[in-house]
């Protein structure tokens, strides 16, 4: 589930534009967040305005009367309709390949050995969007247990949006969503249909789709599931909403039950009832009962920097071999965690892969960083940059903000957020983020350059000229051929001089 950065207008007419004041935007995004969990960033204000324009025009209401309508209990259905319009359900098959590999090589066999004969393995795809994740799980199960299935498996897939679920039930896919499906899997589990493919009956038979708002009471089906997949959903939630949902997931799982989250959705500073496990190069969370420590609402202040030797062993990490024939055992209390040097190497290698255009390899490497590593915020910013380069600006901002939740002193996160705001025409927000980046890293030439552009865009010429001069001064220590986050110093210098009329 993602906030929708695309143009949602499918009608033949263009409704009159809606423009929200900061106060109205804040009221409406809070209303939507209280209903769906998704808290819109200011960069998504235009998306909300586009959705409002369509609904106000369709119902013949004023903006004021529409807001009163969806704020009342009787307007719940219309609030749901608006929420569907500002949430984009773009996803793709096998989005997190390391997790699917862990499931196939180790975790499905563990669940099979642990459960009584004949009892089904139950997996919940929470926030399944248009179904790619649920069907990826079904294919992984069939690849692991065979078409005859040595044990029954049930995949329960839920989403807030009925529109997304309609597409999921259709099971028709094409284009980018199939990029990670190998020719062998495509031939084995899909049927060509027109310019796309339909998932096969064998895959469909394992999956049941149902509409569910994750903020509302869970039905009985949710309890006793063996594994929950909830990827790139809570990243858009406010911290308290995220914590509450994770606690409720914990109650749904048995002891040793599994929780699969997106890379940036680490449980550090969120909830203590799970222990992280490294399985086949992926990190997953396993329920412990009782929690290692009482759940508490801890501060999200920056994690202190610790000497390398203090990080060499972590009680929250379990390394598991990927050999499926090993007897399944409950996680042990402590084992060796990746050292800081290993994580530094992975981040630097990922940066090199990104620079070389090998994005998928870089993303897999970044996912191998331990969720509680002091390098996790830096890795999150790299992931955010990848999303920004792909035009996935909502995800980029969400990833960068998650990095700041863990480490509030990340100037690179503020720089990225500021440049995205500037690209979206959110001048005041861009300046605010970039000024924070400058405060945290006063020697960064790139920050001064982007802040100068933001000042110029806002009509603050005197401050813009000052920052262009500051950027030139900071660039003086670099060679023209040097790169700063992929930008050539010589080009930056020339651009600043042009703006200054030099």
CA distance 285 to 266: 9
Q: Does one domain contain both 67 and 206?
A: no
User: Among 428, 402, 398, 432, which residue's Cα sits nearest to residue 415?
Assistant: 432
* pLDDT digit string, tens, across residues 394-440: 889 999 999 998 899 999 999 999 999 998 888 999 999 999 999 99
Residue 248: give its domain's CATH number: 3.40.50.150
pTM more than 0.85: no
* Domain C-terminal end among 86, 106, 132: 86
Is 365 part of a structural domain of the chain?
no
Beta bridge partners of 193: 196
Q: What is the pLDDT of residue 327?
A: 37
The beta-carbon contacts of 216-222 under 8 Å, at least 24 apart in sequence, are: 218/248, 218/252, 221/156, 222/124, 222/156, 222/252
Is 103 part of a structural domain of the chain?
yes
- Least confident stretch, 92-106, 117-131, 134-148, 364-378: 364-378
Residue 146 has pLDDT above 70, yes or no: yes
Is 39 part of a structural domain of the chain?
yes
State the residue range of the domain holding 60: 22-86
* Domain C-terminal end among 42, 60, 86: 86
* Domain C-terminal end among 86, 108, 142: 86
Is 348 part of a structural domain of the chain?
no
Is 172 part of a structural domain of the chain?
yes
Residue 6 has pLDDT above 60, yes or no: no
Q: Does one domain contain both 62 and 115?
A: no
Q: Does one domain contain both 142 and 253?
A: yes
Q: What is the pLDDT of residue 3?
A: 53
Q: Does one domain contain both 79 and 120?
A: no
Q: Does one domain contain both 122 and 185?
A: yes
Is 311 part of a structural domain of the chain?
no
Q: Give the number of domains in the chain.
A: 3
Q: Does one domain contain both 134 and 255?
A: yes
Q: What is the pLDDT of residue 343?
A: 82
Is 385 part of a structural domain of the chain?
no
Token pair for residue 188? 């084995």
Q: Does one domain contain both 138 and 248?
A: yes
Q: Does one domain contain both 80 and 162?
A: no
Q: Does one domain contain both 270 and 214?
A: yes
Q: Does one domain contain both 78 and 108?
A: no
Residue 317 has pLDDT above 60, yes or no: no
Q: Does one domain contain both 195 and 63?
A: no
Give the E-state strand segments of 133-238 in sequence order. 153-159, 172-173, 190-193, 196-199, 207-211, 227-230
The per-residue pLDDT of the chain, averaged, comes to 86
* pLDDT digit string, tens, across residues 322-362: 333 333 333 333 334 556 778 888 899 988 888 888 888 88
Q: Does one domain contain both 169 and 212?
A: yes
* pLDDT digit string, tens, across residues 68-114: 999 999 999 999 999 998 886 678 999 888 899 999 999 999 999 99
Angle at 274 between CA 271 and CA 275, to 5 degrees: 120
Q: What is the mean pLDDT of residues 258-275?
A: 83
Return the SS3 of 209.
strand
Q: What is the pLDDT of residue 338?
A: 56
Is 276 part of a structural domain of the chain?
yes
Question: Which of residues 295 and 277 earns the better pLDDT score?
Answer: 277
Residue 13 has pLDDT above 70, yes or no: no
Helices (H), 171-263: 183-189, 201-204, 239-252
Q: What is the pLDDT of residue 269?
A: 64
Residue 481: give its domain's CATH number: 1.25.40.10
Q: What is the pLDDT of residue 434?
A: 97
């Amino acid at each position: 589930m993602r906030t929708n950065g695309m143009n949602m207008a499918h009608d033949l007419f263009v409704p009159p534009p809606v423009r929200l004041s900061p106060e109205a935007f804040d009221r409406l995004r809070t209303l939507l967040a209280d209903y769906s969990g998704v808290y819109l960033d200011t960069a998504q204000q235009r998306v909300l305005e586009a959705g409002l324009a369509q609904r106000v025009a369709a119902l013949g209401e004023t903006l004021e009367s529409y807001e009163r309508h969806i704020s009342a209990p009787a307007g719940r259905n219309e609030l749901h309709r608006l929420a569907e319009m500002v949430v984009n359900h773009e996803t793709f098959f096998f989005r997190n390949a390391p997790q699917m590999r862990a499931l196939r090589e180790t975790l499905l066999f563990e669940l099979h050995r642990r459960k009584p004969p004949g009892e089904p393995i139950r997996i919940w795809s929470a926030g399944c969007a248009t179904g790619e994740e649920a069907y990826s799980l079904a294919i992984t199960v069939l690849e692991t247990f065979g078409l005859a299935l040595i044990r029954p498996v049930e995949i329960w897939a839920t989403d807030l949006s009925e529109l997304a679920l309609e597409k999921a039930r259709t099971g028709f896919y094409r284009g980018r969503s199939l990029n990670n499906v190998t020719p062998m899997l495509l031939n084995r589990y899909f049927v060509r249909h027109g310019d796309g493919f339909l998932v096969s009956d064998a895959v469909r038979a394992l999956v049941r789709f149902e509409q569910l708002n994750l903020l509302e009471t869970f039905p009985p089906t949710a309890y006793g599931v063996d594994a929950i997949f909830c990827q790139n959903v809570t990243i858009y939630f406010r911290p308290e909403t995220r914590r509450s949902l994770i606690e409720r997931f914990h109650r749904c799982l048995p002891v040793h039950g599994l929780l699969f989250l997106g890379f940036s959705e680490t449980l550090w500073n969120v909830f203590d009832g799970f222990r992280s496990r490294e399985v086949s190069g992926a990190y997953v969370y396993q329920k412990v009962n009782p929690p290692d420590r009482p759940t508490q609402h801890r501060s999200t202040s920056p994690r202190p920097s610790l000497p390398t030797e203090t990080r060499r062993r972590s009680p929250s990490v379990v390394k598991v071999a990927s050999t499926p024939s090993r007897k399944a055992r409950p996680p042990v209390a402590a084992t060796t965690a990746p050292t800081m040097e290993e994580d530094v190497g992975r981040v630097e290698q990922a940066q090199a892969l990104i620079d070389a255009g090998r994005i998928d390899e870089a993303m897999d490497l970044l996912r191998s960083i331990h969720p509680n590593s002091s390098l996790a915020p830096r890795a999150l910013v790299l992931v955010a940059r990848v999303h920004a380069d792909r035009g996935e600006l909502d995800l980029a901002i969400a990833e960068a903000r998650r990095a700041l939740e863990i480490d509030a002193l990340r100037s690179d996160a503020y720089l990225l957020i500021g440049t995205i705001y500037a690209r979206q025409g959110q001048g005041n927000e861009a300046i605010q983020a970039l000024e924070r980046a400058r405060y945290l890293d006063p020697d960064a030439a790139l920050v001064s350059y982007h802040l100068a552009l933001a000042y110029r865009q806002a009509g603050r010429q005197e401050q813009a000229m000052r920052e262009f001069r500051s950027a030139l001064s900071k660039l003086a220590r670099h060679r023209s051929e040097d790169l700063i986050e992929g930008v050539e110093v010589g080009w930056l210098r020339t651009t600043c001089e042009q703006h200054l009329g030099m």
